[in-house]
Chain A
Amino acid sequence: MVMLRNSPERYGIISQTLHWIIVVFVSIQFVVGSIAADLPLGMQRLILLSRHKSIGMTIFILMILRLLWRLSNQVPLLPAGMSSHEQRLARLIHWLFYILLLCIPVAGWINSSASNLTVSWFGIFNWPDLVEPDKYIATIAKGTHKILVWTLLAIISLHTMAALRHHFILKNNILIRMIPGFKGKTGKETIL
């Protein structure tokens, strides 16, 4: 039986799907954005950056849905073995993900608007321009976009290492419960 909503023990299919789709999209974004940043002006850069903007706006929408889902759902409990300090850190990292994954697309969007380039969504519709063209705003937004991306990479590393540590060293279900289909152990290791 597929569980749509989260339970105290594990994430439901909606949370799991959103998590992994965003993992895939963010990975693509990092690769495409890095390649495009080093290209000279040309058709290749135009195509890559257009895709980058479309996928970035998709992440933005998915993150809004994810935030709404998170706020309207219970969050699975953290393992009993975790100290309150570790639990606070884990929750802080989770919220940082929400903040960064909403702010990074917006910074990119502001950069594009300020650069006089309206953002299209896969050529299907155009997003409104957030600001009037302005070189100074474009420079600030671009710099912010990059700094936030590096911050995101740092917390992705922390989050991934923590998940692997819980799985392989502490041997609890914290990784498994985000993977669709896998049941793992249930209940026993959580604070109820």
Chain B
Amino acid sequence: MLAGNTGAASTCRKPVPDPAAMVFISTQAGAPLEGTFHDFDAEICFDPEYPDTPVHIEVRVATSSVDTMLPELDDALRGPDFFDSAKWPYATYSSDRIQALGNNQYLISGRLTLRDVTRTIEVPFVLKPSTVSDLSRLEGNTTIKRLDYDVGQGEWHDTRWVGNDVVLRFSVKLKPADNKNQGLHNY
């Protein structure tokens, strides 16, 4: 399931489950519309020789777990005009290259798959190392264009009322992945 360079299980970490950690911000009629994906999983693997240097990241988001606090809208987002969760249950991201920028900052280049469209995008992120009292935290954000991934079919193709830009924002605490929870969780 994971790329071969992930090494021993002990060098990988996983996010602590948090339904508010994966946020997206779209726009409706010019105003921001914020939602979350409750169900997602990820694996962040580190260089065994430099345990604070991430070398590979995999993320998988269950698109049906979308929550905008508007049940009617969530149903529409799961439907064929948007994510089509029945056909493509997951959005995935897989890193190809992670570049250290110094000062805990990184730039990841990888493939984002939404519906049946895969595109390479770069995502800057910060990886705060763990301390005695706290786990390490990974956070960052990027902006994608929903129509690049065919999210918004038919009348929703119009970007005047539902913006094309969608901000993706994440902030997760990382815990060591033990042998039991290797790989990505299936929902």
Contact = CB atoms under 8 A, between A and B. Distances in A.
B31 A120 contact: yes
B31 A126 contact: yes
Contact of A43 (B30, B68, B69, B158): B158
Given A46-B28, A133-B69, A116 B161 contact: no
Residue from B29, B34, B73 with most neighbouring chain A CB atoms (10 Å): B29
Contact of B70 (A43, A116, A123): A116
B28 A135 contact: no
A162 interface: no
Contacts of B156: 43
A152 interface: no
A89 B73 CA distance: 45
Interface in B130-187: 155-156, 158, 161-162
Interface size class of A (residues with CB under 8 A): 10 to 19
A153 interface: no
Interface in B1-39: 28-35
Given A46-B28, A123-B30, A116 B158 contact: no
B76 interface: yes
A117 to B, nearest CB: 7
A47 B158 CA distance: 12
Interface string B23-59: 0000011111111000000000000000000000000
A161 B166 CA distance: 52
B72 interface: yes
Given A41-B76, A46-B28, A123-B30, A117 B70 contact: yes
B161 A117 contact: no
B155 A43 contact: yes
Contacts of A133: 69
Contact of A120 (B29, B34, B155): B29
A21 B184 CA distance: 60
Interface string A145-172: 0000000000000000000000000000
Given A46-B161, A46-B162, A47-B161, A41 B72 contact: yes
Contacts of B69: 115-116, 133, 135
A118 B32 contact: yes
B61 to A, nearest CB: 20
A115 B70 contact: yes
A41 B155 CA distance: 12
Given A118-B31, A120-B31, A43 B72 contact: no
A50 B161 contact: yes
A41 B158 contact: no
Given A43-B156, A43-B161, A126 B30 contact: yes
A41 B76 CA distance: 8
A116 B68 contact: yes
A119 interface: yes
Contacts of B31: 117-120, 126
20 contacts: A41-B72, A41-B73, A43-B162, A46-B29, A47-B29, A50-B29, A50-B161, A116-B33, A116-B35, A116-B68, A117-B31, A117-B33, A117-B70, A118-B32, A118-B33, A120-B29, A120-B30, A123-B29, A123-B30, A126-B30
Given A50-B161, A116-B68, A123-B30, 14 more contacts: A43-B155, A46-B28, A47-B29, A47-B161, A50-B28, A50-B29, A53-B29, A116-B69, A117-B31, A118-B32, A118-B33, A119-B31, A120-B30, A120-B31
